[in-house]
Structure 1
């Protein structure tokens, strides 16, 4: 993202002066999908694509915001009834309200922002936007007194209350806590986290974007969450210690198989197995065993497609191409219903894989998948 470009737009659309620049990244998730809202483990990393915003207090009680990418301007107040109509502005408004509720005396400000996180590709552009503004408002009006854990919760609460998606904490956590050349194993139940060095020798991480824009439908996402909560509640009647599905075992799930629907059982089976896969991958990375990492990625894709049913034809097709080309690991990444596969590819296979994926995908769907090479990067920060 070009700093000078964002600054030039800010100067043009406001009073000709400059403010302060803030950035937050999107993220990849190596493994651990749909486990965050089940209290499980995830394994994300921040990337070198994100959101960049310039902010400057304007001495009023209004926020004046300009989306550079959408070429759209919105002005809104900071009161509880001032929610703007534009969807993108609701994210900024929601962050403002959540910071105010935490005691930060947010005042009016001018802002312009842009991003290079591909929309709909599962790299969490919304979390990058929320984290940028949570971090910025904490710096500008909060005296940096809100701790990073709480800033991640600000973004999550914004999704819940103002956008209508009951997301977990992973996306915002990765955007705030990202660290160059490291992935983060996050325990979504306790928010305990551990960094794992990830700069694999001889391998590359590449995302292939189906360009399918099945938006992450709130109803489908929330329905799966309800399935998980239903099964966890059923298991809890026999095992009071089970707060989330993360706390359950497959033996516990089998005990209640006749008490839950077949669909709810499948959803729960996927989550319980996925929680264990994250731990298996962490152990594999500690011994530089990338073949095991890749095998677990394929297992995750199978579970997301067959049990959790959040894949789609195009994602399954790209996953099959990866297997045919000998790619070490491949799976759907993100919430599903479109977006990207994430692929762990040996350097010597990279060119062949990309060539085959583009050719075969184009032959079948009439367009090429987009290719994003990702570099693990730092989290939310001020750019002075």
Structure 2
């Protein structure tokens, strides 16, 4: 939906002067998966799909919000007991509350919003929504909150009002995104660095299996615990190892007999993934996308065989990518369904997509959804 359409809908719903229009993107993560809670690196980029909202202060202490895509309205106050019933409205309410908790003065507003980030495809539509409102309120009310704090406001909204204990990556990418660049974020120190990502002759495309297997949250917690146990065992010999990110394979091998085979495999994946992120950093500096692609395939193998968070459908798409000469492909996100992210040469793109759709549909009864994405700017006023 374009800016003009959003303004028109806003004016139909709330009579009067023009609103301000803000947008924030969804994100992809090129490499660095299940590394955030191990104190390691992630490598996200903002994409050309996101949320767009028209907002105008209304001189009251009430928020009137309309979700265009759901054709649903919500009205709520700004006090803790005013939590709205609608799931989507909790994100906007949570952002208001988190700003207020930090001493920001939030006033009532009217708003309509729409998005083209596919829900449930692992591109963080919720972070795009939080970032849009955090950025907009900060700008309109001249609150002077810095960008890092805006990302933390989105993260705290998930924790406190939605019940999802997410890391900082999604909101960070949505706020800090920069066209033609990926961001390497150090999850231990929160230092970050932009790396050029302008793969001339290649395209970035997501294939969505449209499946979500049930074990995701319990399996996630189990893997976290495996990593913590492995790090603890290593720490006995190497007190400087706070997270697995600080450990080497040699250190892990020293404790191989003290931990379970499963914990060993999980830790092996994380230590190798940290190394891959650093190798991809070097490759991006040189514009070497063949190495980037090779590392993506290695990550998929690690997530499938060592971390065991892939699934049959994702592995099938990864195999099809290999057979079609795709430069790089891997499961993106937590796993157990969702998308593969693929780095594909322009001339192979159409034949790869056609083959993937045909073979996937023959095997699973439905085609994967296809999303071509371009690395774009973060939260901003339109």
Provide TM-score, normalisation by structure 2.
Answer: 0.94
Q: Is residue 15 from structure 1 mapped to residue 12 from structure 2 by the alignment?
A: no
Corresponding residue of 2:370: 371
Distance 1:156 1:324 in 2: 39
CA contact (8 A) 2:104 2:143 kept: no
CA contact (8 A) 2:50 2:125 kept: yes
Corresponding residue of 2:46: 46
Corresponding residue of 1:341: 340
Distance 2:111 2:30 in 1: 33
Written as runs of structure 1 = structure 2, the 5 A alignment for 1:266-281 is 266-281=265-280
CA contact (8 A) 1:120 1:338 kept: no
1:22 partner SS: strand
Cα distance change on mapping 1:50 and 1:216 into 2, 3 Å: farther
Distance 2:52 2:215 in 1: 24
1:235 partner SS: helix
Deviation at 1:262, TM superposition (A): 3.5
CA contact (8 A) 2:22 2:379 kept: yes
Cα distance change on mapping 1:216 and 1:167 into 2, 3 Å: farther
Corresponding residue of 2:286: 287
Corresponding residue of 1:87: 87
The RMSD of aligned alpha carbons is 1.8
Cα distance change on mapping 1:216 and 1:164 into 2, 3 Å: farther
Distance 1:81 1:239 in 2: 48
Deviation at 1:161, TM superposition (A): 1.9
**Mean alpha-carbon deviation: is it higher for 131-140 or for 263-272?**
263-272
Q: Is residue 133 from structure 1 mapped to residue 133 from structure 2 by the alignment?
A: yes
Corresponding residue of 1:229: 228
2:144 partner SS: coil
Cα distance change on mapping 1:166 and 1:272 into 2, 3 Å: farther
Distance 2:277 2:371 in 1: 23
Written as runs of structure 1 = structure 2, the 5 A alignment for 1:121-200 is 121-141=121-141, 143-200=142-199
1:240-288 residue CA offsets vs partner (Å, 9 max, x unmatched): 3222221122222233334444333332222221111110111112222
**Mean alpha-carbon deviation: is it higher for 365-374 or for 40-49?**
365-374
CA contact (8 A) 1:216 1:335 kept: no
CA contact (8 A) 2:24 2:131 kept: yes
1:4-44 residue CA offsets vs partner (Å, 9 max, x unmatched): 22222222332344321110001111111121222211111
Q: Is residue 306 from structure 1 mapped to residue 305 from structure 2 by the alignment?
A: yes
CA contact (8 A) 1:49 1:117 kept: yes
**Mean alpha-carbon deviation: is it higher for 268-277 or for 238-247?**
238-247
Deviation at 1:298, TM superposition (A): 0.5
Deviation at 1:219, TM superposition (A): 3.6
Deviation at 1:234, TM superposition (A): 3.6
| Stretches of 4+ aligned residues off by more than 6 angstroms | none
Corresponding residue of 1:256: 255
Gaps of 5+ in 2: none
1:189 partner SS: coil
Q: How many pairs does the alignment contain? A: 382
Corresponding residue of 1:325: 324
Cα distance change on mapping 1:286 and 1:191 into 2, 3 Å: same
2:136 partner SS: helix
